[in-house]
C-alpha cells in the first residue's frame, strides 16, 4: 500500500525494503538542474567593462554588445546560448534591433562545455565562454573580471565572459530558476524532519 501511495505522488520505490529503510534516512542529495530548478537557465547579471579602444558603437545601455552576443548565439540550441539570445531580444532597444537585425557569422567555432567564437558581419570577433575557453582563445581575464566572476559564482550562478576583438567587455551571470515548491520542500526536510539536505 505504501508503494502505491508513493507512486501516486511521483515517488517510485523498489519493494517494501526500500520503504522501510526510508524511515531511517538521515540525508537527501538532490541534483539541482531539473529537480530543484525548472531546467531553463536565464541571465541574472550582465556586468559590462569599458573598452580600452573607446569604440563609439558601445553605448551605456549595452545595445551593441547584446546585439553582438545575440548574433553569436542565435543559431545555437544550447541552453546558455538560448538564455543569452532571449535576454538580448528582451533588453535591446526595439528600434535598435529593428534597424539592426542580428548579424551573419563567419569563422564560427564552438568548444563543447566551454564556449563559442565567431566573426560577426565580417567585422567584429565575438567570444562567449568560461575561463578555460578564454585561455584557449588567448583572452586575458584581468583581476576586475575575475573578481566579478567569483562574486557571481559565490551567489550560485554560472559566470561566463563576453569578449569583443579579444577584449573582455562583460561578465554574464546565469542561473536556473527554482521550482516554486523547492524552498518549501528543502525547509520541510531539514527543519521538520531533521534530514540533512545536500545539492550536487
Range of the domain at 190: 2-34+179-199
pLDDT tens profile 96-151: 999 999 999 999 999 999 999 999 999 999 999 999 999 999 999 999 999 999 99
How many angstroms separate the CA atoms of 52 and 167, rounded?
8
Among residues 123, 131, 136, the alpha carbon closest in space to that of 68 is found at 123
Please check whether residues 81 and 169 belong to one and the same domain: yes
d(CA 51, CA 72): 19
Question: 525547509: which residue's cell?
Answer: 187
Distance from C-alpha of 173 to C-alpha of 92, rounded to nearest angstrom: 17
How does DSSP classify residue 135? H
Q: How many domains does the chain have?
A: 2
- State whether 20 and 78 are in the same domain: no
As given in the structure block, the three cell numbers for residue 43 are 541571465
- Does residue 9 register a pLDDT over 90? no
Whether 123 and 29 map to the same domain: the answer is: no
Sequence-ordered list of residues with C-beta below 8 angstroms from that of 8, at least 6 positions apart, any chain:
none
Active site residue 31: yes
Same domain, 20 and 103: no
Residues 97 and 162 both lie in one domain: yes
Quick one: cell of 164?
Answer: 569583443
- Same domain for 25 and 73, yes or no, is no
Asked if residue 161 and residue 137 are part of one domain, the reply reads yes
Specify the length of the chain in residues.
Answer: 200
Are residues 60 and 93 both part of a single domain?
yes
C-alpha cell of 129?
565562454
Query: Same domain, yes or no, for 21 and 113?
Result: no
What is the CATH number for 158?
3.40.1110.10
The alpha carbon dihedral of 130, 132, 134, 137 has a sign of: negative
Residues 112 and 146 in one domain: yes
In a shared domain, residues 187 and 125: no
pLDDT in tens, 29-54: 988 677 888 888 899 999 998 877 76
Active-site entry in 31, 147, 181, 191: 31
For residues 103 and 173, state if they share a domain.
yes
Amino acid at each position: 500500500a505504501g508503494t502505491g501511495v508513493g507512486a501516486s505522488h511521483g515517488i517510485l520505490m523498489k519493494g517494501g525494503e526500500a520503504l522501510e529503510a526510508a524511515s531511517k534516512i538521515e540525508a537527501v542529495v538532490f541534483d539541482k538542474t531539473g529537480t530543484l530548478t525548472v531546467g531553463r537557465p536565464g541571465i541574472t547579471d550582465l556586468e559590462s567593462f569599458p573598452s580600452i579602444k573607446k569604440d563609439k558603437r558601445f553605448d551605456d545601455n549595452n545595445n551593441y554588445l547584446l546585439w553582438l552576443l545575440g548574433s553569436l548565439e542565435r543559431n545555437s540550441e544550447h541552453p546558455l546560448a538560448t538564455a543569452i539570445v532571449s535576454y538580448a531580444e528582451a533588453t535591446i532597444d526595439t528600434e535598435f534591433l529593428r534597424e539592426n537585425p542580428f548579424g551573419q557569422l563567419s569563422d564560427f567555432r564552438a568548444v563543447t562545455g566551454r564556449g563559442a567564437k565567431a566573426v560577426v558581419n565580417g567585422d567584429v570577433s565575438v567570444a562567449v565562454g568560461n575561463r578555460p575557453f578564454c585561455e584557449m582563445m588567448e583572452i586575458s581575464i584581468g583581476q576586475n573580471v575575475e573578481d566579478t566572476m567569483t562574486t557571481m559564482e559565490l551567489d550560485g550562478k554560472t559566470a561566463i565572459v563576453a569578449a569583443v576583438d579579444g577584449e573582455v567587455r562583460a561578465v554574464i551571470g546565469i542561473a536556473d530558476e527554482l521550482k516554486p515548491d523547492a524552498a518549501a520542500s528543502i525547509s520541510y526536510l531539514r527543519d521538520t524532519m531533521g534530514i540533512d539536505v545536500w545539492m550536487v
